[in-house]
Amino acid sequence: MNKLGFVYVTYIATTPEKLWEALTSGDFTLLYYWSGRRVQSVWMPGSPVRHTKEDGSLDWQGEVLQADPPKLLSYTFDVAMGGEGRRERPSRVTFEIIPFMGHVKLTLTHGGFEPGSKVLPGISRGWPAILSSLKSLLEGGKALFPLLTNCR
């Protein structure tokens, strides 16, 4: 498997349980993700993950690989690329949630990209903005979006 990927670490003043809810609840992702985005899954290994846009159309899809609330969440990330429907092989998203001095250390690893991936540059710009918005929401009650909609 190719080692190309993206890693992002942040510390958030919240509990592991609240962060887990923020990552896995569609009602929560609506508050901090790109405007109108919702994640949907039952979060059991082998179950589908769907990420939909405001109009209900599919943004990306995947399959839950691991779910150990509120510590570890991993799923595949499959998005169509290009005008001819060309697809890259699915990549892998992993969230590791560790209590740290009364807060939470969140490590996101998004890997398994092929050389020349068209998805990797987009997620490398997108994840920092999304996780910054999540951090702002959990710590201050207000997400950054929809103000930062041009980060993609």
For residue 97, is it within any domain?
yes
Q: Count structural domains, the chain.
A: 1
For residue 147, is it within any domain?
no
Residue 95 CB burial class (10 angstroms; 0-12, 13-18, ≥19): buried
For residue 151, is it within any domain?
no
Find the domain containing 33 and state its range. Answer: 4-118+125-140
For residue 146, is it within any domain?
no
Q: Which long-range contacts (CB under 8 A, 24 or more apart) does 121-130 make?
A: 122/152, 123/6, 123/77, 123/91, 124/6, 125/151, 125/152, 126/151, 126/152, 127/6, 127/8, 128/8, 130/32, 130/33, 130/34
Give 90-116 pLDDT, tens digit per residue: 999 999 999 999 999 999 999 999 999
Q: How far is CA 137 from CA 31, 144, 145, in A?
A: 8, 8, 10
Q: Which residues, 6+ apart, have CB-to-CB distance to 140 below 8 Å?
A: none
Q: Of the given ranges (19-23, 48-52, 57-61, 142-146), which has the lowest mean pLDDT?
A: 142-146
For position 92, which CATH number holds?
3.30.530.20
For residue 92, is it within any domain?
yes
- Residues 113/2, Cβ–Cβ less than 8 Å: yes
For residue 148, is it within any domain?
no
Two structure tokens written together for 108: 């996101």
Mean pLDDT of the chain: 90
Structure confidence at residue 100 (pLDDT): 97
Compute the distance between CA of residue 52 and CA of residue 66 in angstroms, rounded to an integer.
Answer: 21
Q: Half-sphere exposure of residue 112, counting CA atoms within 13 Å on the CB side?
A: 14
Structure confidence at residue 79 (pLDDT): 87
Q: What is the mean pLDDT of the segment spanning 66-75?
A: 99
For residue 150, is it within any domain?
no
For residue 63, is it within any domain?
yes
Tell me, yes or no, if the pTM score tops 0.85: yes
